[in-house]
Amino acid sequence: MRDVADASGVSVKTVSRVVNGEPGVKPEVRDRVSAAAARLDYRHNLAASNLRRNAARTGVIGVLVQDVANSFSASLLRALEDAMRPHQMLLLAASLDETTAREQYIVENLISRRVDGLVLVPASARQDYLAPEIRRNFPIVFADRAPRGIDTDSVAIDHRLGGRMAVAHLLAHGHRRIAVLTDTETIATARDRRAGARDAFAAHGVEVPGDLVRSGVGSEELAGAAVNALRELPDPPTAIFSGRNTISKGVIRALTQRGERDSVAVVGFDDFPMSDVLGLSVIRQDVAQLGAAVGERLLARLSGDQSPPRHDLLSPQLIMRGSGEIPPSEISPPEPSA
Amino acid sequence: MRDVADASGVSVKTVSRVVNGEPGVKPEVRDRVSAAAARLDYRHNLAASNLRRNAARTGVIGVLVQDVANSFSASLLRALEDAMRPHQMLLLAASLDETTAREQYIVENLISRRVDGLVLVPASARQDYLAPEIRRNFPIVFADRAPRGIDTDSVAIDHRLGGRMAVAHLLAHGHRRIAVLTDTETIATARDRRAGARDAFAAHGVEVPGDLVRSGVGSEELAGAAVNALRELPDPPTAIFSGRNTISKGVIRALTQRGERDSVAVVGFDDFPMSDVLGLSVIRQDVAQLGAAVGERLLARLSGDQSPPRHDLLSPQLIMRGSGEIPPSEISPPEPSA
DNA sequence: AAAACCCCTGACAACGTTGTCACCGAGGGC
DNA sequence: GCCCTCGGTGACAACGTTGTCAGGGGTTTT
C-alpha cells in the first residue's frame, strides 16, 4: 500500500480511501491511485483490514461435519453456503470422521482465526469445552445433533420419530421379524433411531425381536455381513430397518447378491442419490431444509439475536418406493397360534 | 494479551512466548501465565500473528468447485482435505455453479484473505485474470480442467480418451445407433468427451449419427426429456452414451419409467454412488486419485518447487456392470444391406 | 576478583490497514 | 475584508502479535 502511495504521489490513507471506495477523493486522484494499484499488482489485505476495524467480521464461518464427501454432509454444506452467500460469507469446511480429538483441534483453530460463527455436527459426546465461547455469546449452531454439556442453538431431524415411522410402517405391512441395523452406540442419532424403532414395537404391542437388533454397524461392509448373518438364521427377518444411508447401501448390495431384493422388505433412514431408481423406501430428512434452518439461526445470532437458545426439530418424511411395502415372505415359518 | 500480561504480572512478550510454547520461560511463570490466560478466556489471534510473522503462511487454501453437494466435487474436496491435513491446512470451499462472475469474485476474495494457494475447477472459459498471480508464482492448481489464457499446474482426467472408450465399447457390442448426450458446449470437459465419442466413430469407420448427438443437456430433467425424444424417433438409438453423472441419472430414470432398462445399452461418464447396484457401466474417473494428485502438486509448489507448470492427465477406466453390454435390440429395424 | 557466559525477561518497533483529527485552500455569507 | 464552512488530504496512532535487541542477575571460567 505504501508502494502504491509513493507511486501515485499521495498518502497511504488516500490509497486506503480509494481501495475502500470511500467518498471524498478527487476523481482525478482516484484514477491515478487505481492505475498505480493495478500496475503494481496491489492486493488488499483483508486480515490487516479486519484487525484494524476492530469489531468487524471476518466473513467466514466454520463448518464441521462428519465427512464432506458424504452426501448428507455435502448437501448440508451446500445449503449453508446458499444461506450465507447473500451475506458475502464464506465457509471453512472440515471433516471430523467422528473423531473427538479432531473436533476440538479444529474448533480451537477456527476460533483463533476469528471465524464469525460455527456450525457443528459434533463427533464428541459432550461439548463442555465450548462453554467459554457460549458464555461470551459466540454464535454456534448445532446441526443434526443436539449439544450436550452446554446450551446453544440446534436444528435437528427428529431421529426418534423417524425410527418409529420406519418400523411402524413395516409392522403395518404385517412384518414381525424386523431387523434393526444401526450405527455405533456412541452416536446420538443412532441411539435415537433405534429408540424410535423400539417405540414402534411397543406401540404395536409387539415384543422387540432382540436377536435381530444389531448396533455398531458402521460401514457398508458390516451392513452386508449383518444381512448375510441374519438371513441365515433359522427364523430370519422378513424386513430390515437400516438406520443410515451407508447401511442401506450395504443392505441393498447384499440383498441384490443374494437375489432377495424382491422378497425382503427394507426401509432406510436417509435418502440418498438414486434411491428412487432403486425403489428403496426411506425416511427422508430434508437436508436442504435443515441447512437452511441452521443458516437462518446463525444469521439471526450474527445480527444480534440474544434470545435463549432454541432447539428445533424437523419431522422426517416416509417415502414409499416399493421396498418397504413388500409383504412378509411365505418362506418364513407361520407364527404359532397363541 | 495485554490483559493476560497485566493479570499475571509479566510483559506481553512473555505471554507471547508462553502462548507459542517458546523455550526460555521459567516453568513457574509459564504456569502463572497459562492460568491467567485460561481464566480470562484468552484466545490467540492467528490473523494478527500471521500479519506480524510477515512471510508466514495462513494455513488455508481455497477450493473452488462446481457444487460442493455434487459427489464429484465433494469427493475431490475430501481427497484434498486428506492431502492437506498432515500439513495442518484447512480448506475454504466455494461452489461456482458454472458462473464466471462468481469465480472471479471468490478468487479475488480469497486472495485478499491471503490463502496460501488455490485449487480451481474453473467455470470460466479463460482465466487471463489470474495472470498477475501466476507472474508472482502464487500456487494455483487446476483440477479436472486445464487452464486457458494462462499457464499453471493442472491435473485432469483424460476426458477425450474416456469418451472414446465409452463409444468404442458400445460399437464393439454391435451398436451403430448410439446417442451421445453431453452438457453445454461451453464446458470444456463436455466438449472433450464428445470429441472422444467422435474419435471412436471415426476409428471404427462408422458415420456419426448426427441426429442422435445432443449437447446442452445440463440437468437430469433435460436428460430424461432427451431420452424420451430419442426413443420416439422412427429409428431410435439402441445405445446411449451419457456424458456426465447427472445425465446418467436422468437417463436411467427415464429408461426405468419406459421399462427399457434391459433393452437399451448405456455407458455413463462419472461413476456415482450406487451405480454398481444399478448395474450401470461407466467410465470411472478416480476422483480420490485426482484430488491426491492435485494436493501433491500444490504442496510441492508450497514448498518452493519452481519447475515449469505440469499438465498431468489421468486415464479413466471402463467399468462393466451390464448396462453397457446389452446387445442392440431386435426391435430396431435391420440395417439396409449395402 | 574480574571476565565471560547463560537464563530469563521486557521495551520497542513493525506487520498492513484504517479511525481520528487536524490542516489547507477555496468558496460563500455578512 | 472577515469569518465560516466544506471538500480534499495527510500525519499519527492503534488493532494484536512477534522479531530484535538490550539488560539484569546469577553462575561458571580464567
Q: What pLDDT was estimated at residue B276?
A: 83
Pair B166, B226 in one domain: yes
Q: What angle do CA B201, B206, B208 make, to 5 degrees?
A: 65
**Residues with Cβ < 8 Å from B232, sequence gap 6 or more?**
none
Q: What pLDDT was estimated at residue B334?
A: 41
Chain B CB contacts of A71 below 8 Å: 69, 71, 74, 273
What does B149-191 look like in DSSP terms, one character per residue?
SS---EEEE-HHHHHHHHHHHHHHTT--SEEEE---TTSHHHH
- Cβ distance A74 to B90 less than 8 Å, yes or no, reads no
All cell numbers assigned to A86: 447473500
Site from B66, B113, B252 to mutate, A interface, most A CB atoms within 10 angstroms: B113
Pair A151, A93 in one domain: yes
Pair B206, B108 in one domain: no
All cell numbers assigned to B207: 458415420
- Cβ distance A135 to B41 less than 8 Å, yes or no, reads yes
- In a domain, residue B296? The reply is yes
Shortest Cα–Cα distance, A74 to chain B (Å): 5
- In a domain, residue A320? The reply is no
- In a domain, residue A321? The reply is no
- In a domain, residue A337? The reply is no
pTM of the model: 0.88
Range of the domain at B102: 60-157+286-314
Pair B169, B280 in one domain: yes
Q: What pLDDT was estimated at residue A25?
A: 87
- In a domain, residue A326? The reply is no
| Contact between A287 and A270 (Cβ < 8 Å) | no
CATH number of the domain residue B29 falls in? 1.10.260.40
Given B13, B31, B53, the domain boundary residue is B53
Chain B CB contacts of A256 below 8 Å: 277
Shortest Cα–Cα distance, B223 to chain A (Å): 15
Site from A64, A68, A251, A256 to mutate, B interface, most B CB atoms within 10 angstroms: A68
Q: Chain A neighbours among B 82-101 (CB < 8 Å)?
A: 90-95
Residue A84 buriedness (CB in 10 A; 0-12 / 13-18 / 19+)? buried
Chain B CB contacts of A94 below 8 Å: 81, 90-91
User: For chain A, which ranges sit under pLDDT 50?
Assistant: 332-338
Partner B contacted by A289 (CB < 8 A): no
- In a domain, residue B326? The reply is no
Return the number of CB contacts < 8 Å for A and B.
Answer: 138
Total structural domains within chain B: 3
The nucleotide minimizing the C1' distance to residue A51's CA is: D15
Shortest Cα–Cα distance, A77 to chain B (Å): 7
- In a domain, residue A87? The reply is yes
- In a domain, residue A330? The reply is no
Pair A113, A255 in one domain: no
Shortest Cα–Cα distance, A203 to chain B (Å): 35
Whole-number distance in Å between B15 CA and D18 C1': 11
Q: What pLDDT was estimated at residue A276?
A: 83
Q: What pLDDT was estimated at residue A273?
A: 77
Partner A contacted by B68 (CB < 8 A): yes
CB atoms within 10 A of CB B38: 11
Whole-number distance in Å between A14 CA and C11 C1': 32
- Cβ distance B274 to A69 less than 8 Å, yes or no, reads no
Q: How far apart are CA A293 and CA A295, in angstroms?
A: 5
Pair B86, B121 in one domain: yes
C-alpha A275: how far from chain center? 19
CB atoms within 10 A of CB A13: 10
Pair A105, A123 in one domain: yes
Q: How far apart are CA B334 and CA B312, in angstroms?
A: 44
Per-residue pLDDT tens listing for chain B (338 residues): 889 999 988 999 999 999 998 888 888 999 999 999 999 999 999 999 999 987 668 999 999 999 999 889 999 999 999 999 999 999 999 999 989 999 999 999 999 999 999 999 999 989 999 999 999 999 999 999 999 999 999 999 999 999 999 999 999 999 999 999 999 988 889 999 999 999 999 999 999 999 999 999 989 999 999 999 999 999 999 999 999 988 999 999 999 999 999 999 999 998 887 788 888 999 999 999 999 999 999 999 999 899 999 999 999 999 999 999 999 976 544 444 43
Nearest to B97, CA basis, from A123, A19, A78, A58: A78
CATH number of the domain residue A181 falls in? 3.40.50.2300
